[in-house]
Amino acid sequence: MTHFLSAGDLTPERSLHLFRIAAALKQRWKTGDRATPLAGRTLALIFEKPSLRTRVTFEVGIVQLGGRAVYLAGSEVGMGTRESVPDVARNLSRWVDGIAARVHAHSSVETLARHATVPVINGLSDVEHPCQALADYFTLWERGLDLATTRLAWIGDGNNVCHSVMLLGALLGTEVAVACPPGYEPAADVQARARSLGSRLTITADPREAATDADILYTDTWISMGQEAERERRREAFSRYQINDRVVGFAKRSVLVMHCLPAHRGEEITDAVLDGPHSIVLDQAENRLHAQKAIILELLGGSLDDV
């Protein structure tokens, strides 16, 4: 694996390999192991969008592995405006050992990867959020779920996180049912790619159909960054797609509820569900750190043997 731009770039074997590395890194850190397999390595963080979880987990992740991060705000770099994306990639490749980029356009991470001589990690784009999906499935895997027999219901916007959940679910054999209002379904090309990877994918407009007998209920904000002007139209379109106690009641009694955060409480999910006994959202958030440490270790040439 040279770069990590899409959840669909993985294989089932590579995914499980990363889960095992993440689990080992998590366990060793919690037991006080402070090995530094990436001592002296530097990871550049280009962030065109604000972030809590992605920024902190990348910065803390490289530091825990012994390296350091250099944070570059999008306005400072000006990718594609102040300086061409290829030139950004070529310059950073002379100074750092890896690049993690949180961008508006997916083409930006693809262009960075095409011109960089160091690994590039997609920290979120308008098409995908593969690091989130890796942490999500790692969270389910570490809880002992058989991902090949798990039914995951995504209820809400067919957005970038949904895309990555669909693609990685296809690789791992997870059944994914997506319930969206008409016009907000996942992109057709991502649906096609998921199906080409063997996905057991259902797209429906009925949240009850998706939630029925689900092992996992997953949602995300209805109004992502950059969609603020559509706020009222989206609230109206998604009003039937809230995860609340009624929707939880359609799923299995053991259902787990996921959200990639930040949550708009009272919109896509109620307080009672988000803070309730089925919720594992903080486990997901914690595992962003450990899953990304596994990616960084793999891509920057470190070894678990050195941890």
Q: Is 150 exposed, middle or buried (0-12, 13-18, 19+ CB in 10 A)?
A: buried
53 labelled catalytic: no
129 labelled catalytic: yes
Closest residue by Cα to residue 101 from 41, 58, 165: 58
Catalytic residue among 180, 220, 242, 290: 220
220 labelled catalytic: yes
Catalytic residue among 53, 163, 278, 288: 288
Spatial distance between the Cα atoms of 96 and 68, rounded to a whole number of angstroms = 10
Residues 6+ apart with CB under 8 A from 50: 225
Spatial distance between the Cα atoms of 275 and 294, rounded to a whole number of angstroms = 28
Catalytic residue among 157, 180, 260, 290: 260
Alpha-carbon distance values, 84 to 7, 79, 114, 120 (Å): 26, 6, 13, 16
Catalytic residue among 132, 191, 284, 292: 132
Catalytic residue among 129, 151, 278, 290: 129
Helix axes 188-196, 160-172, angle to 10 degrees: 10
Catalytic residue among 102, 163, 234, 290: 102
Residue with tokens 């955060």: 261
CA 181, 182, 183, 187 dihedral sign is positive
Closest residue by Cα to residue 87 from 120, 124, 112: 112
284 labelled catalytic: no
CB 145 within 8 A of CB 283: no
Tokens of 8: 């669909």
Catalytic residues: 102, 129, 132, 220, 260, 288
